[in-house]
Amino acid sequence: MSKEVKSVDYGLEKIFEGAQDFLPLLGTDYVELYVGNAKQAAHYYKTAFGFESFAYKGLETGSRDVVSYVVKQDKIRLVLTTPLNSQSPINDHLRKHGDGVKVIALWVDDATQAWKETTSRGAKSFMEPTVEKDENGEIIRSGIYTYGETVHIFVERKNYNGVFMPGFVKWESEYNPDTLGLKYIDHMVGNVGWGEMNQWVKWYEDVMGFENFLSFDDKQIHTEYSALMSKVMSNGNGRIKFPINEPAEGIKKSQIEEYLDFYEGPGCQHIAVATDDIISTVKGMRARGVEFLTTPPDTYYLAAPERLAAHDHELKEDLETLKSLGIMIDADDEGYLLQIFTRPVEDRPTLFFEIIQRMGAKGFGAGNFKALFESIEREQALRGTL
Ligand code: FE2
């Protein structure tokens, strides 16, 4: 396979040519966050993001050490986990990183094979293939470490009919706010340390069979003050996309450095979730208290129609409505996309969410990077971390 980096190449057919098929991935299975108070976090994701109660394990189900609430919206499942005593190693993770993503779980047909293929290619094991059973069948999980203390768990669930996994029961709640149209995870971004991006690009190529199908250097992603570099890794069928960011030298501290300082190491920077109707999704989220980055200036919206026209696309949504909600617009040859970023969802300036609606475009909003970073820098200045 070609190792040549295809800079700003949006052709998905390239993925099928280059990526290896020793690790077939069916999709994202779940994302597990270690949090300080899972009960309250679950309430936040239900209320503010429109997730629904889905599954639970805790003292009542015989889990003495950890409690997990699973919330779901269409294909997205978040597992929110908190230790129940001081002995749990989860406390170490929380002490160091604060709330954040521990597990990016991937749905596979054969978790044993996935573990063998990846560990034989150099992955560090997190969990050997393990069978978990209950009256609804069995699940096999295995896991490997990726950047920082983040892990990928492979989930094989073809012989399981229960609600989520053995150990969990259906979570019935009397509080069921309306969902907000979030459908699936579009991509998840990792921040790695200085000079580490290429080593993780190679790791995803060698260990997971992914291909680097899009790259941005610090000449493309910079503001007056700071810069970063980013490479997008994708698996063979394009369902799993992991951009990897590394800080670059600038006059002031970049948002990636700020993240690394507060997360105290590499980790998941943002989870991008897709919607078919970003206007109603963002209206709902704003009404329910989700905080978004500040809206780009008027000049950004004045220039938007021209940027779309340069790629022969016409905006279907009302520009004034997008502007009033702070939604950004980017275009490439195949279409355009609409996106907006939340503020960090915990007190440390670390993990945040992106809401994205793709109207044909396969990129990640490169045309918005400058406006976005200037917005983040305004907030960094307020935090005294620029
Ligand atoms: Fe993103």
Task: Concatenate the DSSP letters of all residues of 253-283 into one string.
Answer: --HHHHHHHHHTS-EEEEEEEEES-HHHHHH
Query: Residue 17 has what pLDDT?
Result: 54
Interval between CA 364 and ligand 1 midpoint (Å)? 6
Whole-number pLDDT of residue 15: 47
**Residue whose entry in the numeric block shows the structure tokens 């990077």:** 369
Positions of the chain with pLDDT lower than 70, given as ranges: 1-20
For residue 264, how far is its CA from the centre of ligand 1 (angstroms)? 21
- CA–CA separation, 84 vs 58, rounded Å? 9
**Residues 217-256 pLDDT 10s:** 777 777 777 778 899 999 999 999 999 999 888 777 788 9
Ligand 1 center to 187 CA (angstroms)? 7
284 alpha carbon to ligand 1 midpoint, in Å?
21
**Tens digit of each residue's pLDDT (9 = 90 or more) over 260-312:** 999 999 999 999 999 999 999 999 999 999 999 988 888 888 888 888 898 99
- Strand 76-83 relative to strand 27-34, pairing: parallel
User: What is the reported pLDDT for 20?
Assistant: 59
Contact 215, 243 (CB under 8 A): no
Backbone phi, then psi, for 12, in 5-degree steps? -65, -25
334/9 Cα distance (integer angstroms): 12
pLDDT at res. 13: 42
**Beta strand segments in 115-162, E:** 125-134, 137-145, 151-156
The span from the CA of 353 to the CA of 326, in Å, is 15
**DSSP, res 157:** -
Chain centroid offset of residue 363 CA: 15
The phi, psi pair for 213, rounded to 5°, reads: -110, 0
Rounded to the nearest angstrom, the distance between the alpha carbon of 122 and the centre of ligand 1 is: 28
Residue recorded with tokens 């109207």: 359
Task: Look at residues 229, 246, 201, 188 and name the one whose alpha carbon lies nearest to residue 18.
Answer: 201
* Rounded Cα distance, 57 and 75, in Å: 20
Does domain 182-383 fall under CATH 1.20.120.1750? My reply is no
Residue 231 alpha carbon to ligand 1 centre in Å: 12
Q: Integer distance in angstroms from the first to the last C-alpha of the chain? A: 41
Q: What pTM value is reported for the model?
A: 0.92
Residue range(s) occupied by CATH 3.10.180.10 in the chain: 10-170, 182-383
Residue 207 Cα to ligand 1 midpoint, Å, equals: 23
- Level-2 CATH architecture, domain 10-170: Roll (3.10)
